[in-house]
Amino acid sequence: MMDINRVRSLFPALERPRVFFDNPGGTQAVRHCLEGYQHYLTTCNANHGGEFITSRESDAMVDEARAAAADLLNASRPDEIVFGLNMTSLTYIISRALVRTFEPGEKIAVTRMDHDANISPWVQAAEENGCEVLWVDFDKRSGTLNLDSLLAALDKKPRLLAAGYASNALGTINPIGRVIQMAHAAGALVYVDAVQFAPHGSIDVRALDCDFLVCSAYKFFGPHLGILYGRYDLLEQIPAFRVRPAPALPPGKFETGTAQFEAISALKGTLDYFQWLGSEFGQKDDGLGEGAVSERRRLFVRAMGAIQAYEQTIIAAMLHGLLSMPGVRIYGPADMEDLEGRVPTFSFTVEGWTPRAVARRMDEAGINVWNGNFYALAVTQHLGLEESGGLVRVGPVHYNTLQEVERFLDTLKGMRAESPAA
Q: pLDDT (tens digit, 9 = 90+) per residue, 88-112?
A: 999 999 999 999 999 999 999 999 9
Mean pLDDT across the stretch 23-37? 98
The pLDDT value given to residue 285: 79
Q: Which of 221, 255, 273 is a domain's end point?
A: 273
Same domain, 125 and 146: yes
Distance separating alpha carbons of residues 166 and 113, to the nearest angstrom: 9
- pLDDT of 362 over the 60 cut: yes
The pLDDT value given to residue 248: 86
- Please, which residues have CB within 8 angstroms of residue 68's CB and are 6 or more apart in sequence? 267, 268, 271, 296
The pLDDT value given to residue 246: 82
The pLDDT value given to residue 419: 60
Mean pLDDT across the stretch 380-388? 97
pLDDT digits (tens, 9 = 90+) for 111-155: 999 999 999 999 999 999 999 999 999 999 999 999 999 999 999
Mean pLDDT across the stretch 152-167? 98
Same domain, 313 and 375: yes
Q: Which of 225, 254, 273 is a domain's end point?
A: 273
Same domain, 312 and 256: no
Same domain, 61 and 26: no
- pLDDT of 417 over the 90 cut: no
Same domain, 378 and 257: no
Mean pLDDT across the stretch 317-336? 96
Same domain, 26 and 53: no
Domain count, the chain: 2
263 within some domain:
yes
Mean pLDDT across the stretch 387-408? 98
- pLDDT of 321 over the 70 cut: yes
CATH at residue 362 = 3.90.1150.10
Mean pLDDT across the stretch 380-406? 98
pLDDT digits (tens, 9 = 90+) for 184-221: 999 999 999 999 999 999 999 999 999 999 999 999 99
- pLDDT of 326 over the 80 cut: yes
* Range with the poorest average pLDDT among 114-123, 126-135, 265-274, 287-296: 287-296
- Cα-Cα-Cα-Cα dihedral sign, residues 111, 117, 122, 128: positive
Same domain, 68 and 118: yes
Same domain, 95 and 163: yes
253 within some domain:
yes
CATH at residue 171 = 3.40.640.10
- pLDDT of 163 over the 60 cut: yes
297 within some domain:
no
What range defines the domain where residue 382 resides? 4-9+21-30+302-411
84 within some domain:
yes
293 within some domain:
no
- pLDDT of 421 over the 60 cut: no
Give the pLDDT band (50/70/90) at residue 242. Answer: confident
Same domain, 126 and 234: yes
Residue type, 327: G
Give the pLDDT band (50/70/90) at residue 422. Answer: very low
The pLDDT value given to residue 420: 59
Same domain, 52 and 138: yes
CA 123 to chain centre: 21
Q: Which of 273, 288, 315 is a domain's end point?
A: 273
User: Helices 147-154 and 176-185, interaxial angle, to 10°?
Assistant: 20
The pLDDT value given to residue 171: 98
Mean pLDDT across the stretch 393-408? 98
The pLDDT value given to residue 208: 98
pLDDT digits (tens, 9 = 90+) for 35-84: 999 999 999 999 999 999 999 999 999 999 999 999 999 999 999 999 99
193 within some domain:
yes
Same domain, 127 and 212: yes
420 within some domain:
no
114 within some domain:
yes
Same domain, 267 and 336: no
